Amino acid sequence: MSYPNRAAAIAERVERFVRDIVVPYETDPRLGGHGPSEELVAEMRGLARAHGVLTPHIPQEGHLSHRETALVLQAAGLSPIGPVAVNVAAPDEGNMHLLGKVATEAQKARFLQPLIEGVARSAFFMTEPAADQGAGSDPSMLKTVARQDGDDWIIDGRKAFITGVVGASVGLVMARTEAGATLFLVDLPDPAVRIERVLDTIDSALPGGHSIVSLEGMRVPGSQVLGEVGEGFRYAQVRLAPARLTHCMRWYGAAQRAHEIATDYAMRRQAFGKPLIEHEGVGFMLAENKIALKQAELMIDWCAGVLDEGRGGTTESSMTKVAVSEGLYGVADRCVQIMGGTGVSRDTVVEQVFREIRAFRIYDGPTEVHKWSLARKIARDHGRAA
């Protein structure tokens, strides 16, 4: 596959930065169960800024195409903390994309620019607690309510699995109004936003972790409605397909790195008189990895091309998210298996890559929800054809 020279050049710089500068941080004590500390994030982003690779998917001349972005984010993903270091991690990357498409110029100056500069982080308040029967895979179950009070809006509700809210400066809140679901831009921290607890989850690469949050009488000026009142779900679709795809891009890089480590291990480790790679049981697993990585690369490129053509890409991104998350999980799992006891230890990053990609099979829609949605589309298309 061929890419424009600018994307290849940016990706090369990002890869060199991640391999040389970021990888040594993978054992930094400031990396905890809820992600890197704010101090560590600032330190790594300062280095990225100095090396000219901060927010590399939005150079001065404008946002890269989706196919170009794939090349850059795959390079960033070579370390689980690489996307955070160069400022292309979720949820910030998806929020930057949405604000760039929908926000007013005043909103961009206030909320988007600090994100692009890497001096602020954001959170997307959509998912709600299962115990409340709130919105999850089914957004129509949205329970958080916004009511108008003069020129302001008052928001009440609870949200769950809100990534990065601890330490975030910018929030995008989805709430139900009389006109329908609406997105609001909010300043953080806010005394009306109470973090009930930070969940202990299987993944640990993103700063701030994932929290359950209460919104209690949060007052938001009317000027901070994102887009039009009642159009929140439509704007969420603007973010949805590209965000699914960028997840695939980042974790492709991580799986590629795990495969490199497992290959090196299989070449050096001896068992029963020869290197592990010469045993078919191991060699075949590495061959399967190579096939799965190429399949993932092609799916990402195909879906990115659809988005670059200006199509919504809802179906294509759903198919890609399923294929890539399942395929890359197989890669990570085989890497752990090849490395045996070393694979389940934290002596290498392979163990973390395995955990992170396992979570990826759920985040941005579980595999089964995507398959259910695709099956419904198949039935509709068949009905129309009949």
Per-residue model confidence as pLDDT tens digits over 144-160: 999 999 999 999 999 99
> Is 80 exceeded by the pLDDT of residue 2?
no
Mean pLDDT confidence for 174-191: 97
The DSSP secondary-structure symbol of 127 reads -
DSSP 298: H
Average pLDDT over all residues of the chain: 96
Quote the percentage of the chain above a pLDDT of 70. Answer: 99
Domains and CATH numbers, the chain: 5-89 (no CATH), 122-229 (2.40.110.10), 233-385 (1.20.140.10)
98's CB contacts (< 8 A; 6+ apart) are 172, 226, 235, 238, 239
Which H or E run includes 27?
Answer: none
At residue 3, the pLDDT reads 56
Look up tokens 């001096």; give the residue.
119
Q: What is the pLDDT, as a whole number, of residue 137?
A: 86
| Amino acid identity for residue 140 in this structure | S
pLDDT in tens, 21-72: 999 999 999 999 999 999 999 999 999 999 999 999 999 888 999 999 999 9
What's the pLDDT tens digit per position in 66-107?
A: 999 999 999 999 999 999 999 999 999 999 999 999 999 999
In the predicted structure, residue 4 carries a pLDDT above the cut 80 = no
The helix or strand, by DSSP H or E, that contains position 209, with its residue range, turns out to be none
Q: Average pLDDT, stretch 304-314? A: 95
pTM of the model: 0.95
CA dist 309 and 306 (Å) reads 5
Question: Which single residue is written with the structure tokens 């990402």?
Answer: 300
